[in-house]
């Protein structure tokens, strides 16, 4: 996803451009969404590494947890910029990529690899990967996963007499009455998986998604949905104002409400996980330093340090052993929470996102 997380990355912001690019040979030309060149630097070494990320609080956590200690150890200055993937694709096609390394979702990297805009990753160059137990789906050919976030179900504890434990409960408006909110396709992937889980599809049988069945399930709850939210901040606002009793939202948002003393809780069961990671644009000029930063970021102690600063789960299992139970309770990759959620199939979504988005828009407008 692109854009800031806890303001999460908005995949659909560039989905149309990426789809257009796939119609041309190799890495297609795109129109960017405007760029932000405001940047930050870490360290004062002679070498310089330019990294694109989504900025905001996410960049602040990366700077403190990864970039600054990396610069101190290696002498490599890390400068960050905020480019949309569409802009970087256009740069690659022109033969002038302006970044050495990208921080983005594995779904975006799946699209960019299909458009031949990424360098294949030599995982053998990454010492921190060997024997680390990183899940196979987080080590695709053209990227390296580094942290995981999730979409979860949150609810007001003062409005519901019982705790909703599944998306089937969320869909059960008789037993759990009150207005709902769900995510629209305007901001990110529509939540077809939740609709299917509510309709009785097992976690391990979700993919390939039965789109017809998912939309039929969505139609059954549509009358109770006060708002299909279109910004990352909105579901927490609706919940905080008591305009809804339950909503989907990105992990971390509910924790902010709880810290404010709101009567809110959330459910990790059947959470949808997505992974953010590293990708090297095709033709990037400083791949050696890029590999050094990737390797550094996957050390267990670095993964744990970042998780303490930002509510994204480590991909390295050993990192969870360095975290307190309080921190682990907020992370999608804690040993307990890993058992109850599922990982979005980025290959399926890359193939079907455009068609699903069109159908969503038609369904929403009907």
Q: Which among 147, 146, 163 has a CA at the least distance from the CA of 155?
A: 163
Beta strand 76-81 pairing with 41-42:
antiparallel
Phi (first) and psi of residue 262, to 5 degrees? -70, 145
Q: How far is CA 61 from the centre of its chain?
A: 15
> Cis omega before residue 208 (within 30°)?
yes
Q: Which among 62, 108, 113, 110 has a CA at the least distance from the CA of 85?
A: 108
In whole angstroms, what is the distance from residue 164 CA to residue 169 CA?
Answer: 5
In whole angstroms, what is the distance from residue 297 CA to residue 168 CA?
Answer: 38
Regions of the chain short of the pLDDT cut 50: 3-25, 28-39, 43-45
CB 3 within 8 A of CB 9: yes
> pLDDT at position 31, please?
30
Residue 269, classed as helix, strand or coil, is strand
Q: Read off the pLDDT of residues 68-98 as tens digits, 9 standing for 90 and up.
A: 999 999 999 999 999 999 999 999 999 999 9
Q: Read off the pLDDT of residues 274-296 as tens digits, 9 standing for 90 and up.
A: 999 999 999 999 999 999 999 99
> pLDDT at position 252, please?
86
Residue 88, classed as helix, strand or coil, is helix
Q: Structure pTM?
A: 0.88
């Amino acid at each position: 996803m692109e854009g800031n997380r806890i303001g999460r990355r908005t995949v659909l912001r560039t989905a149309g451009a990426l789809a257009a690019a796939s119609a041309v040979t190799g890495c297609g030309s795109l129109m960017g969404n405007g760029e932000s060149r405001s940047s930050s630097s870490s360290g004062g070494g002679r070498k310089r590494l330019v990294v694109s990320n989504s900025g905001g609080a996410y960049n602040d956590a990366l700077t403190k947890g990864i970039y600054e200690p990396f610069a101190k150890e290696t002498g490599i200055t890390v400068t960050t910029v905020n480019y949309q993937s569409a802009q970087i694709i256009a740069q690659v096609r022109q033969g002038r990529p302006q970044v050495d390394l990208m921080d983005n979702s594995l779904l975006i990297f799946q699209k960019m690899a299909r458009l031949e805009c990424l360098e294949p990753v030599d995982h053998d160059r990454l010492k921190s990967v060997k024997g680390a137990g990183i899940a196979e789906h987080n080590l695709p050919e053209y990227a390296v996963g580094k942290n995981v976030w999730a979409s979860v179900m949150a609810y007001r504890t003062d409005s519901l007499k019982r705790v909703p434990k599944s998306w089937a409960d969320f869909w059960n408006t008789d037993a759990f009455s009150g207005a709902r909110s769900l995510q629209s396709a305007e901001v990110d992937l529509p939540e077809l998986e939740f609709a299917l889980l509510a309709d009785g599809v097992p976690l391990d049988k979700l993919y390939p998604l039965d789109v017809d069945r998912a939309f039929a399930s969505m139609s059954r709850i549509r009358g109770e949905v006060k708002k299909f939210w279109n910004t990352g901040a909105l579901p927490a606002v609706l919940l905080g104002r008591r305009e809804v009793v339950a909503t989907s939202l990105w992990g971390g948002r509910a924790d902010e409400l709880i810290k404010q003393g709101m009567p809110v809780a959330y459910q990790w069961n059947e959470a949808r996980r997505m992974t953010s990671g590293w990708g090297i644009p095709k033709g990037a000029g400083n791949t050696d330093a890029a590999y050094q930063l990737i390797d550094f970021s996957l050390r267990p102690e670095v993964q744990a340090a970042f998780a303490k600063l930002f509510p994204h789960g480590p991909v390295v299992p050993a990192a969870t052993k360095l975290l307190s139970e309080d921190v682990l309770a907020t992370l999608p990759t804690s040993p307990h929470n890993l058992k109850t959620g599922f990982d979005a199939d980025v290959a399926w979504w890359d193939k079907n996102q455009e068609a699903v988005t069109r159908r969503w828009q038609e369904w929403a407008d009907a």
